[in-house]
Structure 1
Amino acid sequence: MLAGGVLIGAVNIYLAASLLPTTVADIGGERLYAWNMTVFLTAQVVATMLVNQILSRRGNIGSYLLGFGVFALGSVVCAATPNMPVLLVGRAGQGLGAGLLTGLGFTLIYSALPRRLWVRGSALVSAMFGLGNFVGPALGGLFAQFGSWRLAFVALALTSVLMGAFVPRVLPTSDRTGTGAEAGTPLGSLLPIIGAAGAVSIAGIVSDTPTMMMLLGLALASILVFVVTEKRSRVRVLPRSTYQPGSALRWVYSTIVCLAAGVAVETFLPLFGQRLGGLPPITAGFFGAALSLGWSSSQIASSSARRERTARWLRVAGPALLATGLAVLALMQRHDAPRSLVLAWLPVLLLAGAGIGLAMPHLSVAAMTGTPDKEEGAKAAAAIATVLTLSTACGAAVAGLLVSLGGPSTVDSARCLLLGFAAVSALGTLTALRADRLARRTEPRPESGPASKAGPNSASGSNAESGSRSESVSAYGSTSEGPRGIRVEDVSEGRR
């Protein structure tokens, strides 16, 4: 259920993009064509930020029913639309529903699954983004081929209703705590993020490079306003420990940003495959989805890692592998590339995508365990969806800018795009190392000395044992919370 809710939203993004040319030919509204993605992404980001407030009011089942219901209603509006303005209203409804379902997917991993399943749950849910990138264009192209774009939206609505019918049967019930409702809606945080999402989305559709750079600058300024507002606000979107000195959580989120943004290169890979490799459209489209395929498939293997040392290695190795793959692919770009070289793109893309899959589930769990407080942990889990959604939108805009900067040569555009995101991914390696270093500092260390050698039946041994069981500190939380160690008393000598 958690994975299916995320998959619906992920498929819808690319399915709608494939259908829009046919839709515009039928109902008109070409001037508003580009606003479809802007409206959807902005609504999706906003909804992910409201997950905890909705959960506190409606509980698990009520929140999921609301998410599926809003998405289905938006899809029905899209299917019955007489013109483009009404279609935009439907797309906003789809975005709100998809954002809520995406945020709930990560939040309920934290609250509804046992700790031992968090990595596997995160891997399955995260893999839906890659699977949506693969399935969405195929389904959209199929419906568009037969001119049945309205039927595609009907199919989305029916799927949402069908999944909603199973919600009461498969999801655990939860109390309506009212905590999030009493705290209020984080309007101070919402407004700058809405501005950032809107600026980024518009930047991705303009062709003028100076205007695009200005919009990206506006988006960056909006994000800075968001951070400043969050630090001072009583009602936050991100966990409190994100803004505390010495916290690894901010670096975990930064690594997720670097990984998720790298997926934006997929948008232009089919273009490069056709122009540089001479591939037919269908084959070029498959090359474009290879990154997502590597992402989705590798997460299943990565989720089997149980040792913390292995998880740390994967969190660092993932961005490094993505950066290496994109850099190698950039060097392989050339005019009239021989077929053997073009075919070699495929394993490189699969390996690059595997870098995302290796690290993402363990980064998600690192975020969830970034604070010992249960309510803050749920907020940290929901924030993963916000970070992923906003990173994807930002990545698409930056990708358009890099391609424009590399033009008019297709080879130069391809290299500029791939090397640019290779640099972003390499930055993710540094942020992952920083998170790991801070996490190691906050881990409790055993004390040395005579007292630590006390037998299991002594008072000192009992106190140490009970303390280590009852008191723990999250490796990815703030250094200002939780114990730094356990004081051992040497009762036999009457001293501490």
Structure 2
Amino acid sequence: MVTTGLVAIDSTILATAVPTIVRDLGGFASFPWLFSLYLLTQAVTVPIYSKLADTWGRKPVVLVGIALFGLGSVLCGLAWSMPALIAFRAVQGLGAGAVQPMAVTIAGDIYTVAERAKVQGYIASVWGVSSVVGPTLGGLFSQVLSWRWIFFVNIPLCVVAAWLLWRRLQEDVERRKHRIDWAGGALLTASLSLLVLGILEGGNGWAWDSTASVLVLGTGLVLMAAFLVVEKRAQEPVLPLRLLSRRLLATAALISVGVGVVLIGLTSYIPSYLEALLGVTPLVSGLTLALLTIGWPISASQSGRLYLRFGFRFTALVGTAICALGCAGLLLAASSPSVWAVGGACLVVGLGLGLTASPTLIAAQSSVDWGERAVVTGANLFARSIGSAVGVAVMGAIVNASLRGLDGDTHPAQLQGAVRSALVAVLVVALLMIVAAAALPRDRAASPEAQRSGG
């Protein structure tokens, strides 16, 4: 939980400090890269770290991740310009790519199937707390001390997390000679970097049909094709393609993509929507959205009762249905905006996501042994990151199309229509998640004793 808190707090604390950072360092036009480059480096390294964790163990990988995250935090706090700060955020992202998936993987290693739901709920609760604490600390440091403290505050957390893992986590890793798939790792990193970059910047940094977009996405696709060829021949591939041929793992990854889209869609547009149409303060809009991340751990921690009795597929179907119901409620609330209506709908969405994301991840982890669990976990979380990146691009294009042709300040009516269009897209994705959940293989819950190793 402490390790997860590193990434969770950092993902929420920066947003409220951006105006202060821009006033100090300048570079307003480039500040979105503070988020984009961090997301990029985090996403593309997850599969690499996951394979290394299955090869050398979780402990060395997560400790390296914490060290990189801490180094990046120190450098960010010392940054002298916006380009320097953006570059140092990339270092933080390199660390975050190891920290988040390893925390979830370790939970899969040391707890039984019956226990994992409650533990995943505890881990998810860190995000719920961070959604409230992060923005508050960011505003406090910016106004009272300095924005640099939003990065320096990570240092004691890094020390505590590393000490706890060093002292408490004991692993029995099979020591044998491994052949590291350097070619596959390099091709995967390069291809994913270009593809995620193209998705993030398409429609923002450049037009979708521009030469830059075609070159970036086209080169990314070519390198991805080369990666697939190399992986088929590799003795120990960095991403075993045979895993993706399993129905459970492929379907769980599709659901995770949908979770990423729903999350980024709501967190991107709900706060601005409330502030522009209802005139609420950023604190109120943030607390309203926080109900989503509060609902998630509540239902995730209780999901074990459902999947142990009725199975993972049934639990995921219930979760996706509740999520779609909440998204429909948000769409209805857009016609007559109300903080209470939006907050209630966000809570329902969070409850649905908790019954969807955690059980499908646990099902995927439980279908493989220790030697593949980190790769499976990493692939699931990577799919969520890709969903977020694609969601940003698609919903940004939808909103921009709705506002196209408007001059000057956007009229509330047009903004309302644009956000409604984005919420329609979120609802469609939520409905598709129900279809994906229905495609999960039928399962019967095994006893906790039989699943002691999660195999």
**Equivalence for 2:417:** 412
Distance 1:142 1:227, change over 3 A: farther
Shift of 1:331: 2.1
Equivalent residue letter for 1:404:
N
> Equivalents in 1 of 2:423, 2:210: separation in Å?
19
Name the counterpart of 2:377: 381
> How many aligned residue pairs are there?
436
2:415 maps to amino acid: T
TM-score (norm 2): 0.85
Work out whether residues 57 and 180 of structure 1, in 8 Å CA contact, stay in contact via their aligned partners in 2: yes
Aligned position for 1:103: 101
2: CA distance between counterparts of 1:315 and 1:228? 35
Give the direction of change, closer, same or farther, for the CA distance of 1:140–1:351 in structure 2 (3 Å limit): same
Indicate how the Cα distance of structure 1 residues 143 and 228 shifts in structure 2: closer, same or farther if over 3 A, else same.
Answer: same
From 421, 435, 438, give the equivalent of 1:433: 438
SS of the residue corresponding to residue 182 of structure 1 reads coil
Deviation at 1:436? 3.0
Deviation at 1:174, TM superposition (A): 3.6
Change (3 A) 1:388 1:325: same
- Which residue is equivalent to 1:348? 345
Whether the 8 Å CA contact 1:106–1:384 is kept in 2: the answer is: no
2:136 corresponds to which of 124, 135, 138: 138
Q: Which stretch of structure 1 is more off in the superposition, 156-165 or 195-204?
A: 195-204
Kindly provide the CA deviation profile for residues 362-388 of structure 1, in whole angstroms up to 9, marking residues without a partner as x. 1111111334x5422332123222222
Contact preservation (8 Å) 1:237, 1:383? no
Q: Which amino acid aligns with 2:354?
A: G
Q: What secondary structure sits across from 1:175 in the alignment?
A: coil
CA change 1:134–1:393 in 2 (3 A) is farther
Equivalent residues in 2 for 1:257-296, closer than 5 Å: 257-264=257-264, 265-296=266-297
Shift of 1:72: 0.6
In structure 1, the partner of 2:367 is: 370
Q: CA deviation digits over 1:288-336, x for unaligned, max 9?
A: 32222222332222244352525322211222222221122112213xx
Following superposition, the deviation at residue 165 of structure 1 comes to 1.9
Counterpart for residue 163 of structure 1: 161
State yes or no: 1:254 paired with 2:218.
no
Contact 1:213/1:401 (8 A) holds in 2:
no
Instruction: Confirm or deny that 1:14 pairs with 2:4.
Output: no
SS at match of 1:149: coil
Alpha-carbon distance between aligned partners in 2 of 1:178 and 1:215, rounded to the nearest angstrom: 44
Deviates more, 1:39-48 or 1:210-219: 210-219
Distance (Å, rounded) in 2 between the aligned partners of 1:130 and 1:284: 15
**Range with bigger deviation, 56-65 or 412-421:** 56-65
**8 Å Cα contact 1:134-1:293 kept in structure 2:** no
Are 2:27 and 1:32 equivalent residues in the alignment? no
CA shift for structure 1 position 429:
0.8
- Partner Cα distance (2:367, 2:360) in 1: 10
Deviations 1:93-149 (A, max 9, x none): 111111100121122223333444333333333444454444332322222233511
Match among 77, 84, 101 for residue 79 of structure 1: 77
- Residue identity opposite 1:434 in structure 2: A
Amino acid at match of 1:59: G
User: What is the aligned-residue RMSD (CA, Å)?
Assistant: 3.3
In structure 1, the residue corresponding to 2:316 is in which secondary structure? helix
**More divergent stretch after superposition (144-153 vs 94-103):** 144-153
| SS class of match (1:186) | helix
Q: Determine the structure 2 residue equivalent to 1:188.
A: 187
CA distance in structure 1 between the aligned counterparts of 2:349 and 2:333, rounded to whole angstroms: 14
Stretch moving more, 264-273 or 287-296: 287-296
Kept after mapping to 1: 8 A contact 2:54/2:373: no
The Cα offsets for residues 242-283 of structure 1, whole Å up to 9 and x where unpaired, read as 343x62321111011112220112221111112223323321
Alpha-carbon distance change, 325 to 406 in structure 1, aligned in 2, over 3 angstroms: farther
Q: Could you tell me whether the CA contact under 8 Å between 2:113 and 2:362 is conserved in 1?
A: no
**Contact 2:275-2:282 at 8 Å conserved across structures:** yes
With over 3 angstroms needed to count, the CA separation of the structure-2 counterparts of 1:429 and 1:169, relative to structure 1, is same
CA distance in 2, matches of 1:212, 1:291: 37
SS of the aligned residue for 1:41 comes to helix
Report the Cα offset of residue 395 of structure 1. Answer: 2.2
- Return the offset for 1:68: 1.2
1:391 Cα deviation from its structure 2 partner: 2.3
Corresponding letter in the other structure for 1:255: I
Aligned to 2:410: none
Question: Computing the radius of gyration over CA atoms, which structure comes out larger, 1 or 2?
Answer: 1
Is the 1:263–1:292 contact (alpha carbons within 8 Å) kept by the matching residues of 2?
no
Q: Unaligned regions of 5+ residues in structure 2, if any?
A: 407-413
Could you tell me how far 1:238 is from its partner in structure 2?
4.2
Which TM-score applies when normalising by structure 1? Answer: 0.78
Give the alignment of 1:290-369 within 5 angstroms: 290-334=291-335, 337=336, 341-369=338-366
Q: Deviations over 1:36-80 (max 9, x none)?
A: 112111111122112234336653332222111111110000011
CA distance 1:93–1:309, change in 2 (3 Å): same
1:302·1:358 contact (CA, 8 Å) conserved in 2? yes
Higher mean displacement: 285-294 or 414-423: 285-294
> What is the rounded CA distance, in whole Å, between the counterparts of 1:123 and 1:228 in structure 2?
39
CA gap 1:82/1:386 in 2 versus in 1, 3 angstroms: same
Q: Please list every run of 5 or more consecutive structure 1 residues that lacks an aligned counterpart in the other structure.
A: 445-468, 475-496
Identity %: 23
User: C-alpha deviations, 1:171-210, integer Å up to 9, x for none?
Assistant: 113437466653445223222211122122223744x775
Measure the CA separation in 2 of the matches of 1:42 and 1:267.
17
Distance in 2 between residues matched to 1:369 and 1:389, nearest whole Å: 22
Structure 1 residues 172-251: aligned runs within 5 Å: 172-175=170-173, 177=175, 182-184=180-182, 186-203=185-202, 205-206=204-205, 210=208, 222=220, 226=224, 229-230=227-228, 233=231, 234=234, 235-244=236-245, 247-251=247-251
Q: CA deviation at 1:221?
A: 9.2
8 Å contact from structure 2 (residues 55, 178) kept in 1 = yes
